[in-house]
Structure 1
Amino acid sequence: MDIHSIIAPVITDKLALEEFIESLSDLAPKIERDIARLKSTPGDREVISSLFRSIHNIKGDAALCKVELAVTIVHPIETVLARFRNDEISFSDIIAEAVLLALDRLELAVESLLSGRSLDGLHLLDLVQGLEKLSLETASNMDECACELIEAVTGFRPASEAAALLQGKASSISRKSKSQAADDLRFFRTLANQLEARSTLFKGRTMRLLRLAMETNQIMDKAVDPMQLEAAIYMHDIGMMFLPESVWLKQERMTDDEKLILRAHPDYADGLLSRMEGWESAAEMVAQHHEMPDGEGYPMGLKAKQICDGAKILAIVDAFEAVMLKHINRGKNRSVLRAIAEINACNNQFAPDWITPFNQVIRRTLEAR
């Protein structure tokens, strides 16, 4: 490990750095999707190979563009994935989080280098040291090592996540095998991807919603079954595809008639999920995700105590994404600040007990930037 390349990286070719950033931007979403798939189907050899290739390509691009910092960060990740590919270790959710954290820090670091900003707040030395240790750790200690890495870099120890893994927390889908549930989730994710494909503005939307919802739920000790919540994230807007595109893809102000048409979409998705064994909780979340604590939501006009927790989470992250989209032309950081301010200003629209943990997730995101 070249410590100098971490604490005081030097960029000699700005054009090459820009080319690397462009390549990284193309590969990062693919890595995130592959890791999300591995969480559901950890034995999928095709996904494992795809993930390894993407990481290997980032390392190769970094070497070609002479971005030594990137090579230093990615090399131990490649080693971890090689061990996983060779069945030497298991790829857990905690290890996945550590890899995604490293990817996030790499993106932030190269963007900071390009703009001349300081890297001090990114804790890159802690990150690389943690990744090096993880790449050499014994199989039985990998999760604990990954937890230590995350804590060193972010200041937060994923205690509830680790406890759930170590205790083997059971899913509420008792009537389905894990493989059947994973097959269902893949199908739901495919539908979500089809929805995203209807507009370039939706690119990456599903995974952004999933991350926000899962992290918010994690802060609350997974009060909502994570697998049911994941299904609800994928399916909550699928009903849109049963409506005229001229309505749900419209960017101008909607008429009252168009708003009435749009209100039908939760029923379609709820209808699909409720007919599939084991996904009743996800169906309830989808059906209620436009309800409001004051009873002014739709389709049933439920009030606070009648709305399930999963729907409350979904309502917040969905609204946050919508506001982000509205302000997308104002710059990414400013959009986050505007979106969180708007969400917090809507006192009657969202459940206050879930706004607080959501704020913590956004605060961590901003601090990481």
Structure 2
Amino acid sequence: MERAIIDEFLDCTTECHTEVEACVRALNQHGGPEYIHRMFRSMHSLKGNCQMVGLTPFKDLMHRVEEIFAHLRAHPEQYFPELGEFLLMATDQIVDLLYELLKQGHADENRRALLATVCDNLRQQNQGALQAASFRDAIAMLGGKTKEKSPGGRGNRVNLQLQDDISLMRYWADKIDALTVFRKNRNTTSVELALELNTALGKPVDAQQLEVAVLMHDVGMAFVPHAIFNKETNLSREELRILQEHVQIGSQMLLRFGGWDDAAAMVLDHHEYYDGSGYPNRKKGEQIHAGARMLAVIDAFCSVTTERSDRSYKKSLLSAISEINANIHTQFDPHIVGAFNEVVRNMVLRSA
């Protein structure tokens, strides 16, 4: 694999482990099924990432852990600290083995096989109600308590050198995606779609300016209070004003960088509607930057194909495309939507 892909995989792995730790801590302190859901999503994401990069043995190992987790998801009232300790220890060992494999080219097969056997035993022993004693035995088999992390441990890479603009922007975009489990890896998908759409349209905008616009279009969301960002009911007029300011914040940041004027215009315009009913300047049609018209379609597509806190399911690709096509001439540029349909169709064919 390319070094950039390996680094991204390691970053996602560290994020997954951090999320599991936070959820176990919350469950032990005050409980709540939402933390079980968050922990499952994080572990499932790690399994998917292992499959994506061809680490099938680790994907299978994560699947064994997930099978234990499935019972807990169905019966969250059965949670007990020993279960959280085991899940944290299992994730900790998997992450250790992944780092060992990717850094040294090999991992301890005996440790992997032991964890797989322990998971299989737990599944057999806990087919009814979950038993704390069996999880205590499993923890003992794996070596006891989870180890304390040192401040300079894995994943803590502090770089005091000045990064190039795009690397820094990609880092910020990853941080925005990490604000909620419902945005996992969204900026990566959005960049890929944007560049393919730009090519399909004959490259009407500079590819690098477009990539930066995709990475920065929601950075302003970091300045929106979480109470507004995660609100599931209708926003008040003042809350809506605060939310909409994110386009100005992102575009101003790009102007301050210098050299990214086109990207700044795309960020500012990406919530303008084709019929002139968007924000912040109520531009319409060709007045809206071409890159922003592309970004509007991609942003909508990623939003409706991703689970959200106010929606317990995610829509299929076909449903998302249908929803976008239903809003041409009003929200979206029909020419761009037509090209996007073809991009998604090709994407589906490649993955078939």
TM-score for both structures, normalised by structure 1: 0.51
Contact 1:290 1:298 survives alignment (8 Å): yes
Residue 184 of structure 1, aligned match among 165, 181, 193: 165
Letter in 2 for 1:237: D
State the alpha-carbon separation in 2 of the partners of residues 251 and 185 from structure 1: 33
Letter in 2 for 1:341: S
Q: Which residue of 1 aligns with 2:188?
A: 207
State the alpha-carbon separation in 2 of the partners of residues 206 and 287 from structure 1: 17
Q: Which residue of 1 aligns with 2:339?
A: 357
State the alpha-carbon separation in 1 of the partners of residues 226 and 347 from structure 2: 33
Residue 346 of structure 1, aligned match among 318, 327, 333: 327
Letter in 1 for 2:215: Y
Residue 49 of structure 2, aligned match among 15, 18, 25: 25
Give the superposition deviation at 1:357: 1.1
Change in CA separation of 1:26 and 1:251 when aligned onto 2, cut-off 3 Å: farther
Alignment of 1:17-96 (within 5 A): 23=47, 25-26=49-50, 28=52, 53=102
Q: Which residue of 1 aligns with 2:302?
A: 321
Contact 2:307 2:313 survives alignment (8 Å): no
Residue 248 of structure 1, aligned match among 229, 251, 268: 229
Change in CA separation of 1:183 and 1:253 when aligned onto 2, cut-off 3 Å: same
Unaligned runs of 5+ in 2: 1-44, 56-98, 114-161
State the alpha-carbon separation in 1 of the partners of residues 53 and 229 from structure 2: 25
Contact 1:29 1:204 survives alignment (8 Å): no
Change in CA separation of 1:271 and 1:22 when aligned onto 2, cut-off 3 Å: closer
Percent of residue pairs bearing the same amino acid type: 34
Letter in 2 for 1:26: C
Contact 1:273 1:282 survives alignment (8 Å): yes
Change in CA separation of 1:330 and 1:201 when aligned onto 2, cut-off 3 Å: closer
Unaligned runs of 5+ in 1: 1-20, 32-49, 66-180
Give the superposition deviation at 1:235: 0.4
Rg larger in 1 or in 2?
A: 2
Aligned residues: 213
Q: How large is the RMSD of aligned CA atoms in angstroms? A: 3.5
Change in CA separation of 1:25 and 1:268 when aligned onto 2, cut-off 3 Å: same
Q: Which residue of 2 aligns with 1:366?
A: 348
Change in CA separation of 1:22 and 1:232 when aligned onto 2, cut-off 3 Å: closer
Give the superposition deviation at 1:261: 1.8
> 1:227-257 deviations in whole A, cap 9, x for unaligned?
0011001100111111211112223333333
Letter in 1 for 2:268: A
Change in CA separation of 1:246 and 1:199 when aligned onto 2, cut-off 3 Å: same
Q: Which residue of 1 aligns with 2:63?
A: none
Q: Say whether 1:196 aligns with 2:177.
A: yes
Q: Which residue of 2 aligns with 1:281?
A: 262
State the alpha-carbon separation in 2 of the partners of residues 29 and 273 from structure 1: 33
Residue 337 of structure 1, aligned match among 310, 318, 321: 318
Contact 2:250 2:264 survives alignment (8 Å): yes
Give the superposition deviation at 1:324: 1.4
> 1:95-116 deviations in whole A, cap 9, x for unaligned?
xxxxxxxxxxxxxxxxxxxxxx
Give the superposition deviation at 1:340: 0.9
Q: Which residue of 1 aligns with 2:217?
A: 236
TM-score for both structures, normalised by structure 2: 0.54
> 1:269-326 deviations in whole A, cap 9, x for unaligned?
1111012221001000000000112110100011111111100111000011111125
Give the superposition deviation at 1:222: 1.8
Change in CA separation of 1:358 and 1:57 when aligned onto 2, cut-off 3 Å: farther
Q: Which residue of 2 aligns with 1:312?
A: 293
Letter in 2 for 1:205: R
* Secondary structure of the corresponding residue to residue 316 of structure 2: helix
